[in-house]
């Protein structure tokens, strides 16, 4: 235990997610030894983010205005909504550049142990958004853990009566991974989520087959001439007698 302000700083840092007692102590002493100007900029950044940043009134993603940039983007599709747990998940999906629809951030996952139930999440707001007839699909992109699966199951049961297609992000083996290192749950998910490799036949064959040819005769040794070797040689010039 340290005295006064140092211990208070360690305690406050230890309340941050992913920061244990040793990490909190190490960060606290880094702050003590760092340049004062650097720490002023850090404290100012914390103050500004708490004052300026809010949550989008439509999808609940972080934003400095009433609506986030994704919701304001008219080029994105209005027919698909991807449901995620946190704003950081939006950025993870955006980095793939494979999704061009809209998002809905729940603000967490169902976790009864920590007192988080459906009422604490933005589920009512999601149901309200589904009144838009342009929406045809909901993608559930919650984390593949116990809390994420419970949230996805609850959402599926709640939203299915609305008649909108509900899909779930596939899970299984990572690209470049080895089967021997996969855990049982991941491997089981990969088996359950297997898909057909069959493709529709092309209009024209990619390789034109050649007409059938007569079978080639079995290879044999070179035929031996019945003419004696002496008779087959070219005649030499006649020598003088």
Residues constituting the chain: 241
- Stretch 49-72: mean pLDDT, rounded? 95
Residue 187 pLDDT = 84
Residue 35 pLDDT = 95
- Stretch 45-73: mean pLDDT, rounded? 95
CATH number for the region 73-174+182-192 comes to 3.40.1360.10
Residue 216 pLDDT = 57
Query: What is this structure's pTM?
Result: 0.73
Residue 188 pLDDT = 84
Residue 231 pLDDT = 45
- More confidently predicted of 9 and 177: 9
**Domain residue ranges in the chain:** 4-52, 73-174+182-192
Per-residue model confidence as pLDDT tens digits over 125-174 = 999 999 999 999 999 999 989 999 999 999 999 999 999 999 998 888 88
Residue 238 pLDDT = 44
Question: Has residue 240 got a pLDDT over 50?
Answer: no
Mean pLDDT of the chain: 85
User: In the beta sheet, which residues pair with residue 137?
Assistant: 80, 165
Per-residue model confidence as pLDDT tens digits over 195-226 = 777 755 555 554 444 555 555 555 555 554 44
CATH number for the region 4-52 comes to 1.10.8.420
Residue 185 pLDDT = 78
Among 172, 165, 209, CA closest to 191: 172
DSSP string, the chain: ---HHHHHHHHHHHTSTT--HHHHHHHHHHHHHS-HHHHHHHHHHHHHHHHH-EE-TTT--EESSSS-HHHH-TTS-SSEEEEESSHHHHHHHHHHT---SEEEE-SS--BGGGTB-GGGTTHHHHHHHTT-TT--EEEE---SSHHHHHHHHHHHHHHGGGT-EEEE---SPPTT--GGG--HHHHHHHHHT------PPPSS-SSPPPPP-PPPPPP-PPPPPSS-HHHHSPPPPPPP-
* Residue 229: band (very low, low, confident or very high) from pLDDT cuts 50, 70, 90: very low
Question: Has residue 228 got a pLDDT over 70?
Answer: no
Q: How many CA atoms lie within 13 A of 209 on its CB side?
A: 5
Per-residue model confidence as pLDDT tens digits over 83-126 = 999 999 999 999 999 999 999 999 999 999 999 999 999 999 99
Question: Has residue 237 got a pLDDT over 50?
Answer: no
Residue 1 pLDDT = 76
């Amino acid at each position: 235990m340290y005295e006064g302000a140092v211990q208070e700083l360690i305690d406050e840092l230890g309340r941050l997610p992913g920061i244990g007692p040793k990490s909190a102590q190490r960060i606290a002493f880094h702050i003590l030894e760092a340049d004062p100007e650097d720490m002023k900029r850090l404290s100012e950044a914390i103050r500004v983010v708490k004052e300026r940043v809010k949550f989008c009134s439509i999808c609940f993603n972080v934003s400095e205005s009433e609506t986030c940039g994704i919701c304001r983007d008219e080029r994105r599709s209005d027919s698909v909504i991807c449901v995620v747990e946190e704003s950081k998940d939006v950025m993870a999906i955006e980095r793939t550049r494979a999704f061009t629809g809209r998002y809905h951030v729940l603000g967490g996952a169902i976790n009864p142990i920590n007192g988080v139930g459906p009422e604490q999440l933005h589920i009512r707001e999601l149901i309200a958004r589904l009144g838009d007839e342009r929406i045809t699909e909901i993608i559930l992109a919650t984390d593949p853990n116990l809390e994420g699966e419970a949230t996805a199951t609850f959402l599926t049961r709640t939203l299915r009566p609305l008649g909108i297609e509900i899909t779930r992000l596939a899970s299984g083996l990572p690209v470049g991974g080895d089967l021997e290192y996969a855990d049982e749950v991941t491997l089981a998910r990969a088996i359950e989520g297997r898909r057909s490799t069959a493709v529709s036949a092309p209009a024209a064959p990619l390789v034109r087959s050649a007409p059938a040819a007569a079978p080639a005769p079995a290879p044999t040794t070179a035929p031996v001439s019945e003419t004696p070797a002496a008779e087959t040689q070219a005649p030499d010039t006649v020598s003088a007698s």
